[in-house]
A = this chain, B = another copy of it.
Amino acid sequence: MGLTIRDVAKAAGVSTATVSNVLNKTGKVGRRTHLLVLSTVKRLGYFPNVHARHLASRDSRTLGIIVSDIENPFFPEVIKSFEVRARQLGYDAILSDTNYDPRRTREAAERMMEHNVRGVAVMTSEISLKLIHELARRRIAVTFLDLAPVRGYMSNLRIDYFSGVQQIVNYLYKNGHRRIAFIAGRPRLKSNNVRLEAYEKCMRNLGLEPGPILRGDLRFEGGLAAGLAIAKLSPRPTAVVAVNDLTAVGVIKGLLKAGFRVPQDISVTGFDNTRLAEYSNPSITTVDVHRDMLGKMAADALHELSCSADPHGREYQIPAELILGDSSGPAPAE
């Protein structure tokens, strides 16, 4: 159907190998011929077939990224920076969304294998050990997010949740808050639990009793319910630390509905610094986890792993940074 390298070779009066060498910039072609080929390529509007290229070179030069939900505002920025960095490094990037579904996670991993990716950034927690082993067996580089111990072809990106939570709790403490509630996420999600544990530890460090701890669902609805529940507590907390921004938005809405003012009556904080934190009314005090850095580092890590002959998986730290918004302030006078 389309143009092939042979058409270009014929039109330029050279061999296909020469055309290939020009396109791949191997430097084996003379200046004159080089220019001739390039102009012919342009004139005909030729684009090399990626499938043939990958097949012949036995190298897909492709990186994959698997996320649990592209609609989750956490991911788009990660994906974007991953793709940009991958392209910079000369890779094609493919994306799979699992929708939090283990079956789709399996399909996504299979897709990566079918595409013969050099590496894949796994940004979901529904992946099974079996699948991980299968990837390892194929020597496909893998990065995880707050998940696995590193070894061989696997690196891990660790967001410094502890420091993030610590900054929030300390900030609230300095502002006079003593009864600080926590709204958790899903119990089985490790990164959620890390935040919960960090909260408990930080509270104790300050000589405060942790709690009340309410369970959310990482979504707006869970936050809303938690907000309404908080409103009914006695004694009422003066501050609420939510596991992520979306939950915080829900909590705020719940509190407003129950007739409280934020932050005058109750302070609320989020986590992740999604655009939501900025757009919300009031804007949310939150923690930025540098999502752009995350995507970039994942691509870099995969590149490094897949290029090394005897790869040594590493752990990468992603710093967290407190972002002040209008949803928090001094504790109300008792």
Which residues of chain A (176-228) have a CB below 8 Å from chain B?
A: 220
A303 at the interface (CB under 8 A from B): no
A246 at the interface (CB under 8 A from B): yes
A235 at the interface (CB under 8 A from B): no
Q: How far is the CB of A35 from chain B (nearest CB, A)?
A: 21
Q: Give complex CA distance A118, B139 in Å.
A: 31
Q: Give complex CA distance A278, B279 in Å.
A: 12
Q: How far is the CB of A294 from chain B (nearest CB, A)?
A: 14
| Across-interface contacts of A70 in B (CB, < 8 A) | 70, 76, 79-80
A321 at the interface (CB under 8 A from B): no
Q: How far is the CB of A82 from chain B (nearest CB, A)?
A: 11
| Across-interface contacts of A252 in B (CB, < 8 A) | 281
Q: Give complex CA distance A191, B316 in Å.
A: 43
Tell me what chain A mostly uses at the interface: helix, strand, loop, or mixed.
helix
| Pairwise interchain contact B114-A58, C-beta atoms closer than 8 A | no
Q: Give complex CA distance A329, B292 in Å.
A: 40
Copies in the complex: 2
Which interface class (under 10, 10 to 19, 20 to 34, 35 or more) fits A?
A: 35 or more
Contact of A92 (CB < 8 Å), options: B58, B73, B111: B111
* Stretch from A26-34, A49-57, A151-159, A161-169 contacting the other chain: A49-57
| Across-interface contacts of A49 in B (CB, < 8 A) | 55, 114, 116
| Pairwise interchain contact A280-B278, C-beta atoms closer than 8 A | no
| Pairwise interchain contact A253-B281, C-beta atoms closer than 8 A | yes
Closest to A137 in B: B45
Q: Give complex CA distance A139, B79 in Å.
A: 30
| Across-interface contacts of A79 in B (CB, < 8 A) | 70, 97
- CB-CB under 8 A for A256 and B281, given A1-B58, A45-B134, A95-B95: yes
A77 at the interface (CB under 8 A from B): yes
A47 at the interface (CB under 8 A from B): yes
A83 at the interface (CB under 8 A from B): yes
Closest to A223 in B: B279
- CB-CB under 8 A for A281 and B280, given A47-B113, A111-B92: yes
Contact of A110 (CB < 8 Å), options: B47, B116, B280: B47
Instruction: List 7 other contacts, CB 8 Å, given A1-B138, A55-B55, A249-B279.
Output: A1-B58, A45-B137, A48-B114, A70-B70, A73-B275, A83-B97, A95-B95
Q: Taking beta carbons and an 8 Å cutoff, which residues of A are in contact with B?
A: 1-2, 45, 47-52, 54-55, 58, 60, 70-71, 73, 76-77, 79-80, 83, 92, 94-95, 97, 99, 110-111, 113-116, 134, 137-139, 220, 246, 249-250, 252-253, 256, 275-276, 278-282
